[in-house]
Amino acid sequence: MNRIIVASALLLSVAAGCGYRLESGTARFRDPSVRMDVSPFANRSTTPDAGAVVAARLREELRRSGFTGSFGNVGANYLIEGTVREIRSDTFSHGADRFSLENRLTLVVDIRVVEVVRGGVLWKETGLSETASFFSGADAQYEEANRRAAFEEVARRMAVRLSQTLRVVL
């Protein structure tokens, strides 16, 4: 047991001497001088404001999760580009009258994070998806209100997921 502790201490001291250091993955995430460009995502869906909503939720979630830098494209250290590829509704359950009772809304997003100074892609992912269920009925306004609430929920979930990954990547 003592040999393991001694070997671990030796390894850490050698690593420190070589210029490596153990550091939290959130150091740049919490640096107030870091600037991110999170512009509205491109929108290939039929929901008119989907790209803007997802980007706005991402900025909110980054703040909520501890990002202390600023947002804007002038002098940005990181460029976050995204595309809302699709938003689809699928029938999840039917009633006795064969009309849908519950639908499932799916949001599909592509994202790319670029470090501006070095020009390298830090993270790129295609086809990230989140889902939420919503109830439908004979009243079109009721169904549309539930659909919009489901969209807001999947946008929030996607923002949380993206923010968690960005916290690790940065």
Position 153 confidence tier, pLDDT thresholds 50, 70, 90: very high
d(CA 134, CA 2): 58
Question: Which residue segments constitute the domains of the chain, with CATH numbers given?
Answer: 25-169 (3.30.160.150)
Predicted TM-score (pTM) of this structure: 0.80
Q: Give pLDDT tens digits for 103-148.
A: 999 999 999 999 998 889 999 999 999 999 999 888 889 999 999 9
Instruction: For residue 161, give the amino acid letter.
Output: R
Contact 112, 82 (CB under 8 A): yes
The DSSP annotation for 100-121 comes to: EEEEEEEEEEEEEEEETTTTEE
The whole-chain average pLDDT of the chain stands at 86
Residue 21: what pLDDT?
40
Residue 96: what pLDDT?
67
Give the residue from 35, 15, 16, 127 showing the smallest Cα distance to 78: 35
Residue 47's CB is within 10 A of a number of other CB atoms, namely 18
Residue 123: what pLDDT?
95
Output b/e per residue, 70-107; b: 16+ Cβ within 10 A. Answer: ebeeeebbbbbbbbbbbbebeebeeeeeeebeebbbeb
Give the residue from 131, 134, 154 showing the smallest Cα distance to 146: 134
